[in-house]
Structure 1
């Protein structure tokens, strides 16, 4: 598998950047700015690592775990606001996207790892 070509990882990078940059535009609530900035940057970095080394299966799981953290972070950070499209919705949507693309990328990553090890 070629480096820098997997769409799943590009989507994870975009979702991470969207979360991190949205802190500048969304109304801050609780600790939304800190949590979203850290998790957004972490998700973007995980996606870039997956793009650079497509056979690192563990990073796909890390990417999925960051997505799960984004999903639960509004309750942990005290920024749940279901009435408006705010920080909570951004975390939930981006977290769900990260979990889905990580799940879709696990099998190809395992195949790339297997091909790299056996050849």
Structure 2
């Protein structure tokens, strides 16, 4: 991806992946057995992940957005243990997979965000 594409809003695939992961997390209680803690954890963290992805898409030079994404992914990953739903296999695995993929997407998008930030500063 060229530096010009990295700086254009709404074009970065890792940020789109974050939006999709957040939406999947929000919707996952619809098709998986949950309790209140698991349901609200998935809805709240999923909404924050999707919102962070939208902010990163709109402002591609905002490096902090990728750091937030990594933190939210880590929170999603540890949430089955912290919120005591690790014994609910389906929703726990959803948390672990979505969390891990969110961390990977954030780490992969970080160099692009840094390049876009540098490019915006050079004008």
Q: TM-score, normalised by structure 1?
A: 0.94
More helix by share: 2
Structure 2 distance, partners of 1:79, 1:29, is 8
| Residue equivalent to 1:109 | 113
Report how far residue 53 of structure 1 moved.
Answer: 0.3
* TM superposition outliers: structure 1 runs of 4+ over 6 Å: none
| Residue equivalent to 2:53 | 47
Q: Secondary structure at the match of 1:13?
A: helix
Q: Secondary structure at the match of 1:81?
A: coil
Q: Secondary structure at the match of 2:30?
A: coil
Q: Aligned pairs, how many?
A: 117
**Which ranges in structure 1 are unaligned for 5 or more consecutive residues?**
none
Report how far residue 2 of structure 1 moved.
Answer: 1.0
Output the aligned Cα RMSD: 1.1
Q: TM-score, normalised by structure 2?
A: 0.91
Matches within 5 A, 1:1-119: 1-29=7-35, 31-81=37-87, 84=89, 86-119=90-123
8 A contact 1:8–1:102 mirrored in 2:
yes
Structure 2 distance, partners of 1:101, 1:28, is 26
Structure 1 distance, partners of 2:28, 2:60, is 28
**Which ranges in structure 2 are unaligned for 5 or more consecutive residues?**
1-6
